[in-house]
Every structure is written in C-alpha cells, then in structure tokens.
Structure 1
Amino acid sequence: MAAEPDGAQVVFRDEVAFAFLDHRPLFPGHLLVVPLVHAVTLPELAPQLVGPFFERVQLLTGAVQRGCAAAGSFVAMNNEVSQSVPHLHVHVVPRNPKDGLRGFFWPRRRYRDEEEAAAVARSIRAELDRG
C-alpha cells in the first residue's frame, strides 16, 4: 500500500489511487497520481487495476485542466529510466499555449529507413505474441 508523502497537498484519494501536488511543479497544478497498490512500473501493475487506475488519471486530468484554467495538459510516466521514486506515478501537468514547455523533453529522431522501422515493429509484435 502506497504511503502519502509527508506534507503532501493531497487532492484526491479513493480505494484505487491518490493524487497530490508535485513539490517541484513544472506549473502550478502539476499532480502526481499514484496507485494505492505498490508497483514500480506500469508493466508490474496488476492487469485488473490498469483500467481503474487510468480512469482516475482521466478524471484528474480533466479536474486539473478546469481547476487551473488550462487549455490542455501533459500526461506522462517514466518506467525505470528517469523514475526518481521506485513507485508507479503519473504526472498530470496543466498546459497553455506559449507556456514555455517545448514538446518532449528528449531528442527525437527518425528511423534510418523503413527497414529499421519494420524490424523494430516486428520485435515488438513478437513480444506481444509471446504474451
């Protein structure tokens, strides 16, 4: 069972998840949404909890946008790499045009060619087929 961080400004809690303000927000209203059941990464979250957990993320995303008078939002999660806390958490960040946040925080590149893209797609499909 996940423990609420000391001094956290909790904005939501039910039997599935809780959400609290990030103590170093990108913008005011930046939330962290955390499942009550411990899982380090999304692949570790029990399948029966994925839907209910993301229903809470969806609910909270709308509340953040409306509550912060934001035009939209950025919803993100790290798994292992760049994950500062070893517990699954989703960032919900209010966004507005020209707010200074530029797309993704990491460099993007194209596939070398269609062959490389096809090979990567085959590799992922093979893992799906293995279950």
Structure 2
Amino acid sequence: MVDTCEFCRLIDGDRPAHVLFEDDRTIAFLDRRPAVTGHTLVVPRVHEAEILTIDEPTSTAVFETARTVASAIEETLEPDGFSMFHTSGPLVGTVEHAHVHIVLRFADDDVSLSRSRLDLDDATALTARLRAVL
C-alpha cells in the first residue's frame, strides 16, 4: 500500500467507497465523479501506476472483473453500450494507481471522445512502425 494513494486507502478500508465487486486481485467501485450513472472503476489490489506493467495474472484479473461487472451493469441498468478504457500518465488523471473505467453509454448521453479522420498515408507509416516493434 502507498499511504498517499486514494485507491490503496480505499482497498485497505481507510476510505469509503460503493464497492460493487471484489476478489483476491481486484476491486470494482462506483466512480466518485461519474461521467454517467453507473460509471465504475476496476482496480488491482496491488499498487502499480500502470496497467501495462502489472504481472499478467493481475492484468487478466482486472479485465475479467471488468467483464463481470459490465455484465451485471448491463442486466441492471440496460445501457445502449459501454466505453471501457484505461488511462495513464499525469495528463489524464490524478490517481497514480492502475485502473479501468467502465462508462455506460446511452443514446442521449453527452459523453464524448473527440475524434478525427484517419489519414491513409499516416496510417500506413504508423502501422509499419508499430508492427516493427510488435
């Protein structure tokens, strides 16, 4: 546990939360500042800043929990769909503890991820660069 991490404090019971699900590797709880009703965070119990650096069994458990919780949310709240994502780095949040967002989507919600059109030349060059690393 990291004393200054609000997710570690939540996991240890030192901070209140609306916990939806927990097991030996993960915990899922309602976001305190939700984009929409039901917005949920899935967090590994071990403190790690990035989901990409967690050991494979733990990262697998995070996404298995996300699937389990999303299924329960779907049955209960009947959203039109979900946006599920991991954020990392200081530009996207203030909590340096790996987590996955489950954001319910409805036809009339105002949730937005601004997007632009993919340029074919840029896409070809980027594909080549990434495939070289993969």
TM-score bracket, shorter-length normalisation: 0.7 to 0.9
Match of residue 22 from structure 1: 31
Q: Deviations over 1:103-126 (max 9, x none)?
A: x2x342422x42x22221121112
Distance (Å, rounded) in 1 between the aligned partners of 2:93 and 2:48: 13
Q: Deviations over 1:48-100 (max 9, x none)?
A: 32222211111111112222232222211112130321011111122221222
Asked if 1 retains the 8 angstrom alpha-carbon contact of 2:40 and 2:102, the reply is yes
Distance (Å, rounded) in 1 between the aligned partners of 2:22 and 2:9: 12
Letter of the structure 2 residue corresponding to residue 118 of structure 1? T
The number of residues matched between the two structures is 124
Which stretches of structure 1, 4 residues or longer, exceed 6 Å deviation after superposition? Answer: none
Asked if 2 retains the 8 angstrom alpha-carbon contact of 1:33 and 1:91, the reply is yes
| Shift in Å, 1:3 | 3.5
Q: Deviations over 1:18-71 (max 9, x none)?
A: 011111111111111101122211221112322222111111111122222322
| Residue of structure 1 aligned with 2:102, choices 92, 98, 102 | 92
Q: TM-score, normalised by structure 1?
A: 0.82
Q: TM-score, normalised by structure 2?
A: 0.81
Letter of the structure 2 residue corresponding to residue 64 of structure 1? I
Match of residue 78 from structure 1: 87
Asked if 1 retains the 8 angstrom alpha-carbon contact of 2:39 and 2:103, the reply is yes
- Percent identical: 30
Residue ranges of structure 2 left out of the alignment (5+ in a row): 2-7
Distance (Å, rounded) in 2 between the aligned partners of 1:126 and 1:48: 27
Asked if 1 retains the 8 angstrom alpha-carbon contact of 2:28 and 2:65, the reply is no
What RMSD, in angstroms, separates the aligned Cα atoms of the two structures? 1.8
Alignment of 1:19-58 (within 5 A): 19-58=28-67
